[in-house]
Amino acid sequence: MVSLALIILSSIFFTGVILQTKSITSGRKGPGILQPVKDVIRLFKKGSIYSETTSVIFTIAPVISFASVIMACLVIPFGSWKGIISFDGDFIFFAYILALGKFFSIIAAMDTGSSFEGMGASREALYSMFVEPAFFILIGSFALLTGNTSFYNIFSTLHLGSSITYTLGGMASFVLIMIAMIENSRMPVDDPKTHLELTMIHEVMILDNSGFDLGLILSTGYIKFAMYGTLIANFYIGGLSFLWAFPVFLLVQLLFAVIVGLMESFMARFRMSHNPQFILVLSSVSFLIFLGVLLVLEKFV
Amino acid sequence: MNFINIFNQQVVPVSSIPLLNYNSFFETICLLVENHPERHCVLYFGYKENISIHLICCIADDNEHNIKVTSSVINENSVLHSLTVVNLSFEKFEREIHENFKVNYSDHPWLKPVRYAEDRADKSKTIANYPFYSIDSEELHEVGVGPVHAGIIEPGHFRFVCNGEQILHLEIQLGYQHRGVEQLFLEKTKLIQRTILAESIAGDSVIGHTSAFAFLMESLSGLMPDRELLFSRTLAQELERIAIHTGDLSAICTDVAYQLGSSVFGRLRTPVINFFQEWCGNRLSKGLIRTGYNPFPFNRALADRLNTILDAFEPDFIEMNSELAKLPSSLSRFERTGMLSNEQLLSIGTVGMSARMNALNRDIRVSHPYGLYNEFKHEPVIKHHGDVYSRVQIRKQEVIQSISYIRQLLSQIPHSQALPQPQPQPSILKPDSFAISLTEGWRGEICHGCVTNETGEMLIYKIKDPSFHNWLALALAVRNNEISDFPVCNKSFDLSYCGHDL
């Protein structure tokens, strides 16, 4: 319960912080950190327009992908507080409930029949496919390290004690930040600000969505970001009391958002053909974490 | 001689241009351009005289600094041999002649009309039902972009044939901006109307086009522009080059999602553009250039202001460029993207910046100097890779070069009259004459040509924007590139839609 409330709370300012960081680094004042939420509220008040070529899939897809993210949030714990649901193997549930939402947004894009959206859908599907091994090797390694298979048990029994586990924590944060960037279609894999359909991934898939549906898709993105931020924060707040855990959580979320903003300000997007290579690198970093875990557990023969 | 040699902005009687039959006209042009990379066709057009069509072909020679002109007369609906087979750079000129006069070429490889869908006389054939080049395949897919784009640019349609992310073929369909500018030049007889028309040919090359027009009108009416006039046109041309090049660098950075470059170059462009506002009251420099007189003489106060602007501009510009050149992620997008070989550039007759990106030295400021360019010992910036990065580097170096030229100009401002005196209207153009005027806009060679009749009225006014040829360069450059790199390729050429469509 605590984690869901905190995820919703941080999703309110998360994207705003990214935008504000980008504005400041480019010498502008910025719209204020609440602007993304204001945009969503404005969109919620509007009606949607549907193209004649679309079917019921296009209509229900935004709701399903929103619901899938909320479902995924339910299993995320907050330090020593359980998520709303928690069971053995819930990280697999987490990954595939997100995949379900993504699947629907992909077929909804295909449903419009636009050549752009088909292109975006194929890119999104490809990158999601490459991200999957990185996520499972990462969480699997920590499951092995702690001997548990639910998020709550993994994080509550995870104690970063020796120097090698600090390294593992750092590498895990890196992989999770990058997975979050890819899953949310941010730089350096995708450019959320581009106005050019040919270079888009996620943006091009939602070109036909409008009004309430678009608002839902945008808020899905905000919550997804905050969700990954919470996952990262969990590495650091395992054994802390709430009084300590809460500020650490906020700090991790804020730092995450600022890092995203800085990354988007000071580098160019990757060439599309370099993206799969880059995403595969995440899998190899995850594999390093796995080897580190084996080292800690002295499982090397 | 089968041709005459004239100079940039020189007026000759139409009767002095050799009039050949089409076969010897064809032979002459072939002899002129074959194995002569320093010669390229700057203007090849036809105009109607009674029932026959008069063809004039102008080939500029960069080494001899002159323009070789020859002409021919053909009948309407005649079937001719195509020069394109001998030299590909004639393809678009011949397509235009085919479109305007129904001249058919028996062996032209692709007689696609330039500005209309198929036959311009047949109103039932529109771009909506135009048969684009397509490939029948299960694996390949087509992507159509435009004519309405997401960004604030002009209309044009791009039809890609792609294999997954890779572009196999790009067909560019233009003509959406066709306003009949050349026809309007004949219909509007007042000089001021024509000047406004020249200013409206392409909004980003106002100085280039208007000064080409003004030089042409001055030649045809026998006016000699004084030093003050040449000074302000040269200065304005270099300022325009700085402003647009910087704006393009900003747009290129936006297309690779490099926010810092995009915002810094964007900020740097603004004061330069705004200086035009201070000088002539219009940011796009409309109203600055008039035939025969200078309505806004340059003075010491403006010079001091411009010096201050450039002093602030230059260090930031250089710093941002070195940041851009050090950034691995941007280099990986720029290098080896949208490449064209020197042979390709030569064969399609590319001009200006797009030619200089791969060792093709075409710069009117050197080859056919006008204004005060004689005094600069201008050395064109030449690159040798023909990729997006070459075009970025050319922009950077040309901006720095232009700044040094402007500093040089500002050190010797010619004395001007206290108040600008509009000259008497040069309403009467020399009768039965032909003249051609070339200027080097920021995009490349801008060519205006005019033929007058026995009473001194225009028979035809012909305009060639550098984009006319260079669009084909873009279509070739994106082949085998990723479709997601098309926007940055397109922006690195930054061709004009309205300059092409006229």
Cross-strand bridge partners of residue B54: B47, B73
Q: What is the ipTM of this complex?
A: 0.89
CA distance B316 to chain A (A): 14
| The pLDDT value given to residue B112 | 82
**Position B426 pLDDT exceeds 60:** no
Which is it for strands B66-75 and B79-80: parallel, antiparallel or unpaired?
unpaired
Q: C-alpha distances in angstroms, B180 versus B58, B172, B209? A: 22, 20, 16
Cross-strand bridge partners of residue B40: B60
CA distance A228 to chain B (A): 24
Residue A251: band (very low, low, confident or very high) from pLDDT cuts 50, 70, 90: very high
Q: Is residue A301 included in any domain, yes or no?
A: no
**DSSP type of residue A47:** P
Tokens for B478? 């994106």
Q: What is the pLDDT of residues A73-118, one digit of tens each?
A: 999 988 778 888 988 988 999 999 999 999 999 999 999 988 888 8
| The pLDDT value given to residue B157 | 87
236-265 in chain A: CB under 8 A from chain B: 264-265
SS (H, E, C) B336-357: CCCCCCHHHHHHHCCCCHHHHC
Helical ranges in B287-426 per DSSP H: 300-326, 328-334, 342-348, 353-356, 364-367, 388-410
Residue B424: band (very low, low, confident or very high) from pLDDT cuts 50, 70, 90: low
Percent of chain A clearing pLDDT 90 (strictly above): 42
Domain of B345: which CATH number? 1.10.645.10
Q: Is residue B369 included in any domain, yes or no?
A: yes
Classified as helix, coil or strand, B220 is helix
Are B167 and B191 in a shared domain?
A: no
Q: How many CB atoms lie within 10 A of CB B226?
A: 14
Surface-to-core class of residue B163, CB atoms within 10 Å of its CB (0-12 exposed, 13-18 middle, 19+ buried): middle
A26 in contact with B, Cβ within 8 Å: yes
Are B276 and B365 in a shared domain?
A: yes
- The mean predicted confidence, pLDDT, of chain B is 88
Look at chain B and report how many structural domains it folds into. Answer: 3
Are B67 and B139 in a shared domain?
A: no
Q: Which domain holds residue A233?
A: 2-296
Q: What is the pLDDT of residues B367-385, one digit of tens each?
A: 898 888 888 888 899 999 9
Surface-to-core class of residue A42, CB atoms within 10 Å of its CB (0-12 exposed, 13-18 middle, 19+ buried): exposed
Between chains, do B144 and A115 touch, taking CB under 8 Å as contact? yes
Provide, as residue numbers in chain B, all residues whose Cβ is less than 8 Å from the Cβ of A126: none
Are B199 and B298 in a shared domain?
A: yes
**Position B419 pLDDT exceeds 60:** no
Q: What is the pLDDT of residues B451-488, one digit of tens each?
A: 988 888 888 999 999 999 899 999 999 999 998 888 89
Instruction: Indicate the residue of A26, A193, A270 with minimum beta-carbon distance to B329.
Output: A270
Tokens for B320? 């941002």
Instruction: Indicate the residue of A28, A196, A270 with minimum beta-carbon distance to B255.
Output: A196
Q: What is the pLDDT of residues A145-192, one digit of tens each?
A: 888 888 888 888 876 666 677 788 888 889 998 998 888 888 788 887
Helical ranges in chain A per DSSP H: 2-25, 35-44, 56-74, 90-111, 115-146, 151-157, 163-183, 202-205, 211-234, 242-266, 275-296
| The pLDDT value given to residue B393 | 93
Task: Tell me the count of A-B CB pairs closer than 8 A.
Answer: 85
Which is it for strands B66-75 and B104-105: parallel, antiparallel or unpaired?
unpaired
**DSSP type of residue B422:** P
Q: Which domain holds residue B65?
A: 4-105
Tokens for A30? 């910025």
Q: How many CB atoms lie within 10 A of CB A32?
A: 12
- The mean predicted confidence, pLDDT, of chain A is 88
**Position B234 pLDDT exceeds 80:** yes
Mean pLDDT in residue range B48-72: 89
Are B94 and B161 in a shared domain?
A: no
Are B143 and B221 in a shared domain?
A: no
Q: Is residue B25 included in any domain, yes or no?
A: yes
Between chains, do B142 and A271 touch, taking CB under 8 Å as contact? no
Q: Are B237 and B371 spatial neighbours (Cβ–Cβ below 8 Å)?
A: yes
CA distance B243 to chain A (A): 20
**Position B117 pLDDT exceeds 80:** no
Provide, as residue numbers in chain B, all residues whose Cβ is less than 8 Å from the Cβ of A264: 257, 259
Query: Which of B173, B202, B228 marks a domain boundary?
Result: B173
Q: What is the pLDDT of residues B386-397, one digit of tens each?
A: 899 999 999 999
Query: Which of B143, B173, B203 marks a domain boundary?
Result: B173
Q: Are A116 and B480 spatial neighbours (Cβ–Cβ below 8 Å)?
A: no
Q: Are A148 and A158 spatial neighbours (Cβ–Cβ below 8 Å)?
A: no
Percent of chain B clearing pLDDT 70 (strictly above): 97
Q: Is residue B449 included in any domain, yes or no?
A: yes
**Position B420 pLDDT exceeds 60:** no
| The pLDDT value given to residue B476 | 92
**Position B311 pLDDT exceeds 80:** yes
Are B217 and B281 in a shared domain?
A: yes
| The pLDDT value given to residue A158 | 77
**DSSP type of residue A252:** H
Look at chain A and report how many structural domains it folds into. Answer: 1
CA distance B70 to chain A (A): 45
Between chains, do A269 and B262 touch, taking CB under 8 Å as contact? no
Between chains, do A115 and B142 touch, taking CB under 8 Å as contact? yes
